[in-house]
Structure 1
Amino acid sequence: MRSIGVTLALVALGGCSAIQPARMRLPVELSAASARMVYSGIGGSTRGKFAVGAYHGSYERSEQRLAIFDAFVRNYGHSEFEIAGPEISSTIETRCQMREKVLDFGIAEFTTRPMAYRCEFTAEGRAIPSRFELQEVSRGIGGALSREERMGEIALGGETVQIRSVHKLDGSPIEMASPIGYVFEQHGEPVGAVELNGAPVLYLGNTADPGLVRTLTVAATTLAVFWDPANSALDDD
């Protein structure tokens, strides 16, 4: 299974310990009341079938790295999926591209072209009014600590939702450099989230709007199948 690969060692007062998967810290509004749905079928494979809640589909993805003189590095990849379920007449097809350029000098690494992940949506092969963009941002203390923050937005079916990466772990002061998940917001209020450590998990806030549920599910799936270069194993050899 490919995942962020983060675990916390929780040591009990009596000296016993247990290893549990790290979990993202949800906003208070979602941790207090939200529906939690685990994705099935999305693991470390390059392709497969998935299901989450009342939605299902298939996906395919890849990642590549091109290094020139071991210093000039280009990371790029693609992902695509089809999804069917409530508020989708037949299927929605999503095709995404990721690009990033890095200067790697061994002891230091500099991003010359920040990571950008963009997607296009079609329905039964026809373009529909929509957009999805996710970009790396570097600002404030997060940038100083080399935290690889991402922010973006999805617009689909009349719903517009902002996306921001989450780096804080539940029940711990630890913050991860790369995202452990993402929160979805409308008008500055959290309406959902997706957790990416291990099997992806979709959280839906207390909304009765089926159109928003559809948009959040598509956004979560777009991120669930995304291989972020911040977590890439391509340079582990």
Structure 2
Amino acid sequence: MPAARLRCSAILLLAAALAGCASIQPARMALPEGLAAGSDQLQVHGVGGGTRGQISVEGRELRYERSASRLSLFDDLYSSERSALAFSWGADTASCKLRQRDSQINVVAIPLKPWTLNCGLPGGATLTVVEASKGPRTLQRERRGELRQGEQRWTLRSVHKLEGSDWPVAEPIGYVLEDQGRAVAAVETNGGDLRLFLPRDTAARAAAAPALLAVALLWSPQ
């Protein structure tokens, strides 16, 4: 085969390989039954890896600043983690703080202060989330919490299952909000962009959106 044809074939093969890589999508979070059909799905672009950024959600500009730090002493015999997040969403503001302290013995982390997130959100809403580790830090790190606004309460839980897989992943790939056990909203954090599933009820939507954005934008030092 002539050299020119060989070069042409190699270029075509390379282009096909690159196109295949570009078409590969990140694994999707497994959604609770009925949530996709009963909610509005929004794709949120532009969430980078820096300490500050700006994104657009439902036509509103959200500006955020965040930080994370981890202090480790004596080969992880003692470690402390901290994160902070603040964002403005139009005239509304929100702030979150994360704290955790551990003592590490071999591969087992003994929590001195559990992973705890506290947020003050727009409209006087509050969000508290706690991690319930099931032993070593290499295992699933399940997080559960409560969103409160006035007399209304929603339960927040982390999601660890991927579509089409029976095996859970260790770190959360998203979060679901539930109203008396029924999933009403969610955020998927797996991949470069965020996917929001927001309720069509106006009051629930106003509370769910900033709460889900808070857990999605927060940095958690490892």
Partner residue of 1:162 out of 155, 167, 172: 155
SS in structure 2 of the partner of residue 28 of structure 1: coil
Partner residue of 2:125 out of 113, 130, 134: 130
Return the offset for 1:157. 5.8
Match of 1:66 in 2: 71
Q: What one-letter code is carried by the residue in structure 2 that aligns with 1:80? A: A
Q: What one-letter code is carried by the residue in structure 2 that aligns with 1:31? A: A
Relative distance call for 1:136 and 1:107 in structure 2 (3 A) is closer
The answer (yes or no) to whether the contact 2:125–2:207 under 8 Å persists in 1 is no
Return the offset for 1:200. 1.5
Q: Calculate the TM-score normalised by the size of structure 1.
A: 0.76
The answer (yes or no) to whether the contact 1:157–1:211 under 8 Å persists in 2 is no
Return the offset for 1:164. 0.5
Q: Calculate the TM-score normalised by the size of structure 2.
A: 0.80
Return the offset for 1:59. 0.3
Partner residue of 2:164 out of 158, 171, 176: 171
Match of 2:195 in 1: 201
Match of 1:218 in 2: 210
**Residues 193-236 of structure 1, C-alpha deviation per residue, up to 9 Å, x if partnerless?**
0001121111124x3x212111111111111211134xx3xxxx
**Is residue 97 of structure 1 aligned with residue 62 of structure 2?**
no
Relative distance call for 1:32 and 1:113 in structure 2 (3 A) is same
Partner residue of 1:23 out of 28, 49, 57: 28
Q: What is the correspondence of 1:74-93 to structure 2 with a 5 Å cutoff?
A: 74-84=80-90, 91-93=91-93
* CA–CA separation in structure 1 for the residues paired with 2:106 and 2:24: 32
Return the offset for 1:131. 1.4
**Residues 1-26 of structure 1, C-alpha deviation per residue, up to 9 Å, x if partnerless?**
xxxxxxxxxxxxxxx99743011100
Return the offset for 1:53. 2.1
Q: What one-letter code is carried by the residue in structure 2 that aligns with 1:98? A: L
SS in structure 1 of the partner of residue 29 of structure 2: coil
Percent sequence identity is 34
The answer (yes or no) to whether the contact 1:159–1:211 under 8 Å persists in 2 is no
Q: What one-letter code is carried by the residue in structure 2 that aligns with 1:184? A: L
The answer (yes or no) to whether the contact 1:95–1:119 under 8 Å persists in 2 is yes
**Residues 59-95 of structure 1, C-alpha deviation per residue, up to 9 Å, x if partnerless?**
00000011122221001110110113xxxxxx22111
* CA–CA separation in structure 1 for the residues paired with 2:126 and 2:67: 21
Which runs of 5 or more structure 1 residues have no equivalent in the other structure?
1-15, 85-90, 123-127, 233-237
Relative distance call for 1:106 and 1:51 in structure 2 (3 A) is farther
The answer (yes or no) to whether the contact 1:48–1:58 under 8 Å persists in 2 is yes
Match of 1:41 in 2: 46
Which has the larger share of helix?
A: 2
Match of 1:9 in 2: none
* CA–CA separation in structure 2 for the residues paired with 1:21 and 1:51: 22
The answer (yes or no) to whether the contact 2:29–2:163 under 8 Å persists in 1 is yes
**Is residue 119 of structure 1 aligned with residue 119 of structure 2?**
yes
* CA–CA separation in structure 2 for the residues paired with 1:92 and 1:192: 21
The answer (yes or no) to whether the contact 2:28–2:190 under 8 Å persists in 1 is yes
Return the offset for 1:187. 1.7
Partner residue of 1:146 out of 112, 115, 139: 139
